[in-house]
Amino acid sequence: MNKQSKQRFSKSRLRMNRQVFGVLILVITLVVFCVFVYRFCVISGGYVDAHNLKKSRLTQETRTSVLQAQRGSIVDANGNTIATASKTYSIYAVIRPLYSGDKEKLVTDKERTATELAKYLPLAKDKILVYLNPTSKKTKQVEFGSAGSGLSLAIKQQISKLKLPGIHFTSESSRLYEDDIFASHVIGQTTVKGTGDDATIVGTMGLEKYFNSLLSGKNGHTSSQVDNYGYQLSTSKAQTVAAKNGGTVYTTINSNLQNYLESLMSNVQTEYDPKEMTAVLMNAKTGAIIAASQRPTFSLQTGDGISDMWRDALVQDAYEPGSVMKIMTLSAAINSGHYNPNEYYQSGSIQVGDTTLYDWNRSGWGTIPLSEAFTRSSNVGMVKLEEDMGSSTWHHYLKKFGFGKKTGVTLPSENPGTLSFSNSTTQATTAYGQGVNVTVMQMLQAMSAVSNNGVMLKPRIISKTVAANGTVTKYGKQTEGRIIKSSTAKDVRKAMVQVVQSDIGTGGAYKMDGVDVGVKTGTAQIAGNNGYLTGASNYIFSVAGMVPSKNPKYLLYITMKQPQNYTKSAEEMMAEIFKPLITRALALDAASDDAANTTTTEDTTSAKMVAVTNKSTSAAQSELTNAGYNVATVGTGSKVVQQLPVAGQTALNGSRVLLLTNGAMTMPDVSGWSKSDVLKLAQITGKKFKLKGSGYASAQSIKAGALIPDTGGTITFTAQ
């Protein structure tokens, strides 16, 4: 090939290579272009690698805030509030800028700030100054410990009016109870779970727990799109799902009788120092619980005392009831046709199998008719009735009366109790209330068959609930059917009258002039590690009463365990609750609305507490004294900033009212104060107090008129 041919070939090959390369570049360009177009289409559709871009964008730019649902209320039989939703406040002070360029107002005049805050917080001025001058130079804001938390709206508003620079508040959801001690274990307790927007109030005891779902409601929320600075975008619209507030629980409790019962219980507890007590007043025709209390108890508002008794003794504690069970034994014997009142038996003791069972009076009363067994509370007589009935018949009636199973009352953690029937001895002892463990509610249910002419009633504490959407659920009268004949019930009630009226009866302490009263007393042994406890006070004493006995409206059941100050008979101790409470209940029935607040022969009238907060100390003292109250003042200030009982709360005539004034707190003279009064002092001051001994306060570790220290520790009172 000549040189010219070679040159032409080279040029041709070069041209071909360029064409191939050009085509290749074109193909690659088209492929890349197609990929970009496809990718653009996918992104335009809002997805990348199966990831929803639109959803991501909204998530990044959407701010959601919780709308807290308001917890519903618990009210009494007349619709008066017992528990309701509230807020408490905590105070803090900003003393240095929180960040560079912060224009937040700071505390500028610490001296004035401390002086003013001391008027409303349970802290002295010098203590507040210590908080406002922390040792660390890095501290930018300070709080004031427990004294600066849990503040009421009234106190918060008073401080806010001062417009103190650098003083701020945070709020927390809380629960407000109208009375400090008011069927505390029945109403229950709440706690706050979570923090900030996620904080919710949850019931942990009593009705607050049982109806927690209804009371809680449902939180709502607000969602809006915001920019990087948190401002809502002008092109967006906030989306709101409204909160659904909680419903309302209507109880059967009569506040007048409940508050009076609490007062009577506190007096007996202070005087005789029993380890435990319960008392329940029930409508004998409907099963509605009118008043219910126990000791130890606790403050609904502060929780003080809850560590002494976590359980609701009315439904959670099972115990041997003792001789009050004889109401059911006599009922079963009469109803089954195995009661011959004119049959005689030898009292004192009886042999059952290998065991000798005794009367409470071991020597007995000689040979007596069965008609006297119930009146004298003879254990041997009841064993004789059980033997005449036969164990299977007696066991049948025990189950009919509801022992060994829950009543279904609307309170959490109800104990079903136990029924021991394994041998002849336990079968016999159940006839006088041993070998069977019951609850207060089970006893009330069983005794209602006698008070309600043979038809047994379920005890109930709730009349109805109203959900947030308006749905009403009624808890009306519920019966468990006819347990005994009407004639049987009437015969048993006549026997209960003899317990009070007869010279041989055990219930003479419950006799009331002009009142038709029938009762059965009880004295139950307490099981220990090595058999039953011994000693005069190591018993559970009890009484069950039906008034008026001919056609009962009220069924009152009281138990008292191991009184430490055994200065009177157990019957006399419990009568100090029984007789005044029955007197008031009957008076409320008979009196007009105006006379309903004047209820006992002991001049124990009650009325709604007047408001004296923000009044001058002298004017408040004069007004309360003229109204018949016993006034105690904490502090030497000229203005009242807090009061206990609070305005609107029912208070008995002659009861003690505590006033907290502005200025430093000084100790009042507590001589003659009851334990409940000391608890009021602890509540209003925020200090820890301890009452040593039983009875009324007679000495105090800090003299009257002296400043109450701000430091920790417990202030001690001695009682005798």
Q: Tell me the catalytic residues.
A: 323
Q: How far apart are CA 484 and CA 328, in angstroms?
A: 10
Tokens in use for 66? 């919780």
- Write down the residue that tokens 């036969």 correspond to: 390
Q: How far apart are CA 443 and CA 510, in angstroms?
A: 20
Q: How far apart are CA 518 and CA 550, in angstroms?
A: 9
Tokens in use for 288? 């509605």
Sign of CA dihedral 345, 351, 352, 353: negative
Q: How far apart are CA 394 and CA 382, in angstroms?
A: 11
Strands 47-48 and 200-205: unpaired
Tokens in use for 669? 């003279």
Give Cβ neighbours of residue 37 (< 8 Å, ≥ 6 apart): none
H-state helical runs in 478-603: 486-501, 570-590
Q: Which amino acid is at 80?
A: N
Q: How far apart are CA 201 and CA 221, in angstroms?
A: 17
Strands 650-652 and 606-608: antiparallel
Q: What angle do CA 495, 559, 680 make, to 5 degrees?
A: 140
Q: How far apart are CA 494 and CA 339, in angstroms?
A: 15
Give Cβ neighbours of residue 7 (< 8 Å, ≥ 6 apart): none
Tokens in use for 210? 């049982």
Question: What is the per-residue DSSP string for 388-444?
Answer: HH-HHHHHHHHHHTTTTS----SSSS----EE--SSHHHHHHGGGT-SEEB-HHHHH
Burial group, residue 648, by CB count within 10 angstroms (0-12, 13-18, 19+): middle
Q: How far apart are CA 71 and CA 56, in angstroms?
A: 35
Burial group, residue 163, by CB count within 10 angstroms (0-12, 13-18, 19+): exposed
Q: Is 604 within 8 Å of 583 (Cβ atoms)?
A: no
Q: Is 645 within 8 Å of 629 (Cβ atoms)?
A: no
Q: Is 259 within 8 Å of 266 (Cβ atoms)?
A: no
